[in-house]
Structure 1
Amino acid sequence: MTPAPQGPPSAVTVVGTGADGWSGLAEPSRAELRRADVLIGGPRHLDLLPTECAGERVAWPSPLRPAVPRLLAAHAGRRIAVLATGDPMFYGIGRTLAEEVDALRVLPHPSSVSYAAAWLGWPLEDVEVVTLVGRPTARLAAALHDGRRLLVLSADARTPEDVAALLIDRGFGPSRMRVLEQLGGDRERVTAETTADDWARTQQSGDPLNIVAVECRRAPDALRLGAVPGLPDEAYEHDGQLTKRHIRAATLGALAPAPGELLWDVGGGSGSIAIEWMRTHPSCRAVSVERDQVRAERILRNAERLGVPGLRVVTGDAPGALAELPAPHAVFVGGGLTARGLLDACWAALSPGGRLVANTVTLESEALLADAHRRHGGELVRLAVAHAVPVGGFTGWRQAMPVTQWCVQKTPNPPPGADR
């Protein structure tokens, strides 16, 4: 028996297809599929091909991602065509293949998002796309803002029902919904417009190949959540261990999150800093470290409710719990500053350009921050907030405990006399 070729193939072509299958493909895509020695795709895609595509048909196994290198290596040296839905580079297999193959040719087809925007008359640049394929429905919550238009990529026929339930739970029951099925195919269908409230009552069901269009409408009594840090304190479940709204906004400003960056939130409390870091951009990541199990579970609930279910929570004492974490771009220390070695461990974990922000209200921790400021530089500030409250028949100011904040960026060349 001849052994299977080893190593990745020299080139792979990935062909995007629509619900209309073979009839909807352009001639270059058809030609690639006819020439292919191996045709890889989901069973639904492979069934759409005519007999003139004579290559060996291989269905993706589950889970798909770990199987990709093995399948490509098994068919090295042969002409491979991979079938995908719509535009392979838009939440599709194209991204995975691009990570594995040096010479990748992509022949895209209009995506379901393009079809939906055209059908609805929505300018695509004004629409936010949220995928729920292989992802929790809770991530949709971060995109809910009054007046925004969303296109939700569905995992299956149940997704519209799940979307309606989430909209109602987050105070967006009046939002308008349409479900667009089998777009571009013979069985294309678009439901009549309804609200999330009405959808939940009618329990409609349909085709698993669908996309949900949502025009967000916030209920009058729903809590308003903005797009910038400083959400209302009422948005969080907490036991008092919460960085309050105005201090939180200043803290996130100092941390300066950017797309793709990772935050360590040390002493997570209710998770507000990590949650609002992740809400700034879908690609922002965070790890919240909290030693109390009850609080750790509360952080997870807050993260799900506020649309960032991907927040990782580590239960344990810092600095020990930090040892196995991936290197951060920024660190926030909101509790436990007096733990031996904590501040030094956080500083050591940062790469050049990384930021560290620490807040405290105690004199003991303030002394530690003053020493760190002397050694590493940065900015040491005092933040004070007062709220107007009734005083008899008049109004006066009630001062909250002032917060001392140290903010510093790690530079390749520290100032003279400063520790690296």
Structure 2
Amino acid sequence: MTPWLTIIGIGEDGYGGLGTNARAALQQATMVFGGKRHLDFLPETVAAKRIAWPTPFSDVYPSLTALRGTDVVVLASGDPMHFGMGATLTRFVDRSEMRILPAPSSFSLAAAAMGWPVQHVQLLSVHGRPVETLFRSFTSGAKLLILSNDGGTPAQVAQMLVANGFGSARLTVLEHMGGAAERRVEGAAKGWLYPRGADLNVLAVDCGQAEPEARSYSILSGLPDEAYENDGQLTKRDVRAVTLARLGPRPGELLWDVGAGCGSIGIEWMRSDPSCRTIAVEANEQRQGVIERNARALGVPDLQLVRGEAPAALSGLAAPDAIFIGGGVTDDGVMDACWNALKPGGRLVANAVTLQSEAALIGWCGRFGGELTKLSVAQAQPLGSFDAWRSALPVVIYSVRKPVD
């Protein structure tokens, strides 16, 4: 199909910074969509009708697709395929129908301004996203380039860095890069007192050396138990690491954490990769609040909480790639509902401590196959003037993959 939609990346240098192909597309277009700032860059010689983004923004999709077959241009900031409009529009318009002409991205301009090789930097965005997602990137020596949500983002990030033991981190706010209004503001996270700046900015963070008591964790499973607020309903660290190894998170996959407790399994599933998703199902009202607080504190505020009791609460949820059942294996219908909802080829892992729940898992293993593992963990603890091993209750871990046929 001949492309009818052209997505043009435009920088702060405006129309003058566009290449020949981009200018030709604008001259040929019958309609141009974009933000008011971008539309104002265009000279009068561009005769196309100019349409600013509507509110709500989602209204633009049917308007665009209704114009299929006419010459339409969309103006977007920088590289439209990097946290940009182009990436969004590919969900509504087939790639064969569009042409994408990128400009240097904000990240490229920021890396050049800082003298940081892009391949050694984490590229992040909190534009329309919770700022807490940055937490998992706070590590000693890390360099971050962050697409801000607005002019208040730098102060928020500075506050987060200080609260988590990175007060010496260096922040650089890069505003309106490549344009006449370009500005740069620098300072340490601790004592950050700069007033709110321009909404259009990229924040560069050099995390530097963390303080000895900093909150900074590996993305691998098995976070310290003290990382979690809990009422005792917590899958302990060593068991958690083995459980997640059985679940085997992969980028883009969805986990159901059924009987989520304090949310530790679902949280560490999401920490393994930014594209991993979790639906945590929990009936206890107090634990629901704990899950939400733990998710925010550990950098995965997008975790989806379903307030209710399985199996009824599972109805209508998106089909999972993996399921963890931390509680409820003896409840009527829970295992059946989970197994039926699991995608073909998906993984189910369930843990048991009591004899009754262990017997239920043995029965399931007999029906559907899989593996049973009994894990016993002992910790060295004081006994008088000596030390002795104190064993926790053994945990039976059942893991099975659903057949593809």
In the TM superposition, what is the alpha-carbon distance from 1:130 to its structure 2 partner?
1.3
Q: Offset of 1:205 from its aligned partner? A: 2.5
> Contact (CA 8 Å) 2:3, 2:99: kept in 1 or not?
no
What secondary structure does 2:191 align onto?
helix
Deviations for 1:202-235, whole angstroms, at most 9, x for unmatched residues? 1333211100011124222223411201111111
Q: Paired residue for 2:14?
A: 21
CA distance change for structure 1 residues 74 and 408 in 2, over 3 Å: closer, same or farther? Answer: closer
- 1:57 is aligned, of 27, 45, 50, to 50
Please report how far the alpha carbon of residue 74 of structure 1 lies from its aligned counterpart in structure 2 after TM superposition.
Answer: 4.4
Task: Identify which of 317, 342, 365 aligns with 1:350.
Answer: 342
Task: Give distance in 2, aligned partners of 1:49 and 1:122.
Answer: 32
Aligned to 2:392: 400
The residue number in structure 2 matching 1:44 is: 37
- Aligned residues of 1:9 and 1:75 also touching (Cα < 8 A): no
Q: What's the counterpart of residue 213 of structure 1?
A: 204
Residue 96 of structure 1: aligned partner: 88
Aligned to 2:235: 243
User: Superposed, which structure 2 residues align to 1:118-267 within 5 Å?
Assistant: 118-192=112-186, 194-199=187-192, 202-217=193-208, 218-267=210-259
SS at match of 1:359: strand
Q: Report the AA paired with residue 19 of structure 1.
A: E
Choose which of 88, 107, 110 in structure 1 pairs with 2:101: 107
Residue 360, structure 1, aligned to residue 352, structure 2: yes
Partner of 1:390: 382
Kindly indicate whether the alpha-carbon contact (under 8 Å) linking 2:255 and 2:322 is maintained by their aligned counterparts in 1.
yes
| Contact residue 270 and residue 295 of structure 1 kept, 8 A | yes
Match of 1:11 in 2: 4
Asked if 1 retains the 8 angstrom alpha-carbon contact of 2:65 and 2:93, the reply is: no
Superposed CA RMSD in Å reads 1.5
Cα distance in structure 1, aligned partners of 2:86 and 2:165: 36
User: Could you tell me whether the CA contact under 8 Å between 2:136 and 2:217 is conserved in 1?
Assistant: no
Q: Deviations over 1:27-49 (max 9, x none)?
A: 21112112211111000000011
Inter-partner Cα distance in structure 2 for 1:138 and 1:408: 34
Q: Distance in 2 between matches of 1:268 and 1:132?
A: 27
Post-superposition Cα deviations, 1:229-262, rounded to whole Å, max 9, x if no partner, equal 1111111111000101111111110000001100
Work out whether 1:31 is the aligned partner of 2:27.
no
SS in 1 for 2:91: helix
Q: Is the 8 A contact 1:252 1:277 kept in 2?
A: yes
CA contact (8 A) 1:385 1:400 kept: yes
The residue matched to 1:99 in structure 2 has which SS?
A: coil
Cα 1:15–1:223, aligned 2, differ >3 Å: closer, same or farther? closer
Task: Say whether 1:281 aligns with 2:273.
Answer: yes
Contact 2:311–2:334 (CA under 8 A) maintained in structure 1: yes
Equivalent of 1:304 in 286, 296, 301:
296
Displacement of 1:146: 1.6
Q: 1:82 aligns with which of 56, 62, 74?
A: 74
CA drift of 1:9 comes to 9.8
- Residue pair 2:239, 2:375 contacting (<8 A) in 1 also: yes
Deviates more, 1:219-228 or 1:112-121: 219-228
Q: Is the 8 A contact 1:9 1:76 kept in 2?
A: no
In the alignment, the residues of structure 1 paired with residue 156 and residue 181 of structure 2 have an alpha-carbon distance, to the nearest angstrom, of 23
Q: Does 1:333 align with 2:325?
A: yes
Q: Distance in 2 between matches of 1:239 and 1:138?
A: 23
- Alignment partners' CA distance in 1, 2:48 and 2:216: 56
In 1, Cα distance between equivalents of 2:71 and 2:294: 49
Inter-partner Cα distance in structure 1 for 2:107 and 2:171 = 15
Match among 291, 294, 300 for residue 283 of structure 2: 291
Q: Is the 8 A contact 2:164 2:216 kept in 1?
A: no
Return the offset for 1:174: 2.0
SS in 2 for 1:185: coil
Paired residue secondary structure (1:398): strand
Conservation of the 8 A alpha-carbon contact between 1:10 and 1:76: no
Q: Which runs of 4+ in 1 moved over 6 A?
A: none
